[in-house]
Amino acid sequence: MKKLLIYISASLILFACGKKPESTLPTIESITESVYASGSVESIDQYQVFASVNGIISSVNVSEGDLINAKTKLFSIFNESSRINRENAELNAEFSDVNSNNSKLNDLKLAIELAKNKMLNDSITFSRQKILYSKEAISSSQLEQSELVYQSSKTNYLSNQLKYIDLKKQLNLTDKQSKNNVKLTRELENDFSITSDIKGRVYSILKKKGEMVNTQTPLAIIGDAKAFKIVMEVDEYDIIKIKKGLKIVVSLDSYKGQTFEAVVSKIDPIMNERSKTFTIEAAFIKQPPVLYPNLTLEANIVIKTKQNILTIPRKFFINDQYVVLENGDKKYIKIGLKDFEKIEVLSGLAKTDKIIIPAK
């Protein structure tokens, strides 16, 4: 029995040593050079909704999946200080209203009228005193005293006129400022009502009623209800090959066994330093019937295609430069386009040359 096992083992070793390496002949076919990219589906105009103020969500007015119009109210945010500021502004505006302060103007008008009458009376008295002085009926000091009284009443009359003009200006200014303040506080209070910027669909609600939010807190995700785009990440080593308008073959995990065509529509001109990639956007030529944001995908961006060329499988190459002929000779090959499975042969190999997989 022991001799039989030794014989079988030796036979297996001899068989393995005598096994011929895999070989092939170059093939005439087409080849497509492409750049691989991974990415996801996004709705057109998709964006995150943010609060413009701090506060507590008092109501959520939409649900996930709802179709909405632009300016649709999405959330209400409660903030006590904003309400108090608005009420104080309204009280101040009511107090500062011009019509409510007519009594102050009327009081000044009455004062002006009294000052005018006194000035006229003092003017008459001064005129009479000048006549009496000319007849030496009064002394010069009495005349001077009469003139001082007249000048004082004249100054008081003019002063009251200026006070009336200044008060009217001040009341008008205060009235306008208080009304503007009311308008401002109401606008600020409107910031506590969050509305949609676009017509579309609510894809996600990220916060619930009663939660505290601030201006850095995303509340929802909204986007177009029907139109979608492809967003991909391309390695920095491949970005120089990418141009707008290039065809893309897209595979979606949600559509197993199917591919869809798209074209490059946008290339972000700055690299993500963390991932060392560039963001590429593409538009479907014919969009799949059902899509949702964040569906994952793989894509091949077609750089160039050639027909009826000589190719050999990539696994037969050594460093994409050399092949091993059937007789064991190593030969340099000038190559052209490459894909994941095969490489174009430009020169160095005839279609009748049989090659073998190089030993590892």
Q: Kindly write down the DSSP assignment for every residue of 121-144, as one continuous string.
A: HHHHHHHHHHHHHHTTSS-HHHHH
The residue among 309, 358, 299, 300 whose CA lies nearest residue 336 is 309
CATH of segment(s) 56-78+192-221: 2.40.50.100
Confidence of residue 171 (pLDDT cuts 50, 70, 90): confident
Would you say residue 266 has pLDDT above 90? Answer: yes
Residues 266, 248 contacting (CB under 8 angstroms): no
**Angle CA(53)–CA(55)–CA(60) in degrees, nearest 5?**
95
Convert the pLDDT of each residue in 269-303 to its tens digit.
Answer: 999 999 999 999 999 999 999 999 999 999 999 98
Class of domain 35-45+225-304: mainly beta
3-class DSSP assignment, residue 215: coil
Q: What is the pLDDT of residue 11?
A: 40
- Do residues 43 and 293 touch, judged by C-beta distance below 8 A? yes
What is residue 13's predicted lDDT score, i.e. its pLDDT? 42
Distance CA(339)–CA(30), nearest Å, equals 11
Q: How confident is the model at residue 8 (pLDDT cuts 50, 70, 90)?
A: very low
Task: Assign a CATH topology to domain 21-32+306-356.
Answer: 2.40.420
Q: Dihedral of the CA atoms 75, 76, 77, 79 (nearest 10)?
A: 170
What residue segments make up the domains of the chain, in order of their start? 21-32+306-356, 35-45+225-304, 56-78+192-221, 83-188
pLDDT tens by residue, 336-353:
887 778 888 888 888 888
Confidence of residue 245 (pLDDT cuts 50, 70, 90): very high
65: left (phi over 0), alpha (psi -120 to 50) or beta: left
- The distance of Cα 132 from the centroid of its chain, to the nearest Å, equals 90
pTM of the entire predicted model: 0.57
